[in-house]
Amino acid sequence: MDLSKVDAELRRKTRAAAAESFSKYRHREEPAPPPPGATVTFLGTGGNPEAVLSQVPRTAGFVLVVNGLRLYVDPGPGAVVRAQEAGIDLGALDGIFISHGHLDHYAGAEAVIEGMCWGMFSRRGYLMAPRQMLERDRLLSCYHQGLKTHTGYKGGPTVILLQAHQPIQIKKQF
């Protein structure tokens, strides 16, 4: 086996895949609104350390669609894969809600944010999470909070820090 040929082929395929992704996310348009009504799509219902490790049951959270709002709630491990299996376009999400900083509630959030923000090329969507999770514990990177735009990626979500008894307006009704 000629490793230099294998290396050259892998580099060529990587460049092609990166160019395709770059084009896909840079030329995307906002999706059409979902049909009226409400749906909940469970992508995982597990919630303990054993489930996180085994993914039995899965811990990917759920997607809630209500009156034109698409919200991913508690995207745990496997969130991107489970959304893809269910035919959910992460780039159509309006927001991501994380209830608290346990792994089964946020481990997939950074990848879901990248999907929602079109590969971090677009500033769109909302990230709703407890302050301690983002600021004190730093469980999601500054990059995925849209705070570091000097990297060449200008995208990211609008961050909403959750506070008890404080309603938040995240999208106008259709």
- What is the per-residue pLDDT across 3-27, written as a single tens digit (0 to 9) for each? 999 999 999 998 888 788 777 767 7
More confident residue, 168 or 102: 102
Q: What was the pLDDT predicted at 171?
A: 66
With 90 as the cut, is the pLDDT of residue 150 above it? no
Q: What was the pLDDT predicted at 101?
A: 94
Taking only the tens place, the pLDDT of each residue in 97-133 is 999 999 999 999 999 999 999 989 899 999 999 999 9
State the pTM of this model. Answer: 0.84
Q: Are strands 38-42 and 62-66 parallel, antiparallel or unpaired?
A: antiparallel
Q: What was the pLDDT predicted at 133?
A: 95
- The domain ranges of the chain are 1-29, 31-162
Average pLDDT, stretch 151-159? 86
| Rounded distance between C-alpha atoms, residue 158 and residue 128, angstroms | 8
Taking only the tens place, the pLDDT of each residue in 47-103 is 788 888 888 888 899 999 998 899 999 999 999 999 999 999 999 999 999 999 999
Architecture of the domain delimited by 31-162: 4-Layer Sandwich (3.60)
| Rounded distance between C-alpha atoms, residue 30 and residue 160, angstroms | 21
| Rounded distance between C-alpha atoms, residue 22 and residue 9, angstroms | 20
Confidence of residue 174 (pLDDT cuts 50, 70, 90): very low
SS3 assignment for the chain: CCHHHHHHHHHHHHHHHHHHHHHHHHCCCCCCCCCCCEEEEECCCCCCHHHHHHCCCCCCCEEEEECCEEEEECCCCCHHHHHHHCCCCHHHCCEEECCCCCHHHHCCHHHHHHHHCCCCCCEEEEEEEEHHHHHHCCCCCCHHHCCCCCCCCCCEEEEEEECCCCCCCCCCCC
Q: What was the pLDDT predicted at 172?
A: 56
